[in-house]
Amino acid sequence: MCLSMHQPWASLLVQGFKRFEGREWNNKYRGPLYIHATVKKPSQEEIDYLEERYREFYKAVGDDLPPFPERYLTGCLLGRIDLIDVISLAEYEDTIPKKLQEETVASHIFVARNPMYLDIPLKMSGQQGIYRLPKETLFGVRDKLKKVAYSWWPPEQFKNQLIGRFDLYPDEYTIWTRDQILNHVEQNQVLKQPEYKQLSAGCFHLKSFLNATGQQGFIDSIREMIMENP
């Protein structure tokens, strides 16, 4: 699936600056989402404004600022992110730590992770909304994607923040490391019927089925399957 965006927002998303993308419409799709840059050329004022905003953002969260794109190419396929959830503006303002919120007034917020980019963007035309890529395009670029090389969402102190249905971590554990969470869940099960603990919406730890580490591996495997077979 693919989403067309104007520059410079499109490049800033696949290069890992943007963590969220605002839209006035909702969508049920979750999974790998290719990002296409429309033919509309950005003004220098737009580029300067957004780059300055992200300088301020990275300074505020205490994260290292990566280099900005050298060029904001238009009319081409730029890369891919994982669309892990779509939340309302109210949910965004209530659940995302204030430090990590990007300026938006859109009704729906696309939550993105795992940005990947193409060294050589592919010229193509786009469409409105979320649309399917031609199979020949998908197969031609899938193996050429490169992961963003620097630390991306979220900064260390927020790395276990509960955002998206594929996260294993409950809200109360957001300051714990992954190993601390898995060990806690594994060691604090109460033997009763049924033997399970709800970790987040739609996600359970089953005591008699798999240990917590195994369940995390299962979730990671699902992610990989989605990445390999979008």
Instruction: List the single range of 35-44, 162-171, 175-184 with lowest mean pLDDT.
Output: 162-171
Average pLDDT, the chain: 77
Q: Does an H or E element contain 91, and which?
A: helix 89-95
SS3 44: helix
pLDDT at residue number 228? 58
Which CATH number applies to 2-154?
2.30.130.30
pLDDT at residue number 84? 85
Q: For residue 128, give Cα distances in angstroms to 2, 4, 37, 132.
A: 10, 7, 12, 11
pLDDT at residue number 174? 46
Mean pLDDT comparison of 38-47, 62-71, 91-100, 131-140, highest-scoring range:
38-47
pLDDT band, very low/low/confident/very high, at 136 (cuts 50, 70, 90): confident
pLDDT at residue number 191? 44
Burial string for 91-121 (b: 16+ CB within 10 Å, else e) reads ebeeebeeebebeeeeebbbbbbbbbbbeeb
pLDDT tens by residue, 56-104: 888 877 777 888 999 999 999 999 998 888 888 888 888 777 777 888 8
Instruction: List the single range of 94-108, 131-145, 192-206 with lowest mean pLDDT.
Output: 192-206
Q: In the chain, what are the domain boundaries?
A: 2-154, 171-228
pLDDT band, very low/low/confident/very high, at 222 (cuts 50, 70, 90): confident
Does residue 141 contact residue 118 with C-beta atoms inside 8 Å? yes
The answer to whether residue 34 scores a pLDDT higher than 50 is: yes
pLDDT at residue number 187? 64
pLDDT band, very low/low/confident/very high, at 176 (cuts 50, 70, 90): low
DSSP string, 116-174: EEEEEEEE----SSEEPPPHHHHHHHGGGEEE-SS--SS-GGGTT---STT----GGGT
Instruction: List the single range of 6-15, 27-36, 53-62, 79-88 with lowest mean pLDDT.
Output: 53-62
The mean pLDDT of 200-229, rounded to a whole number, is 63
pLDDT at residue number 35? 95
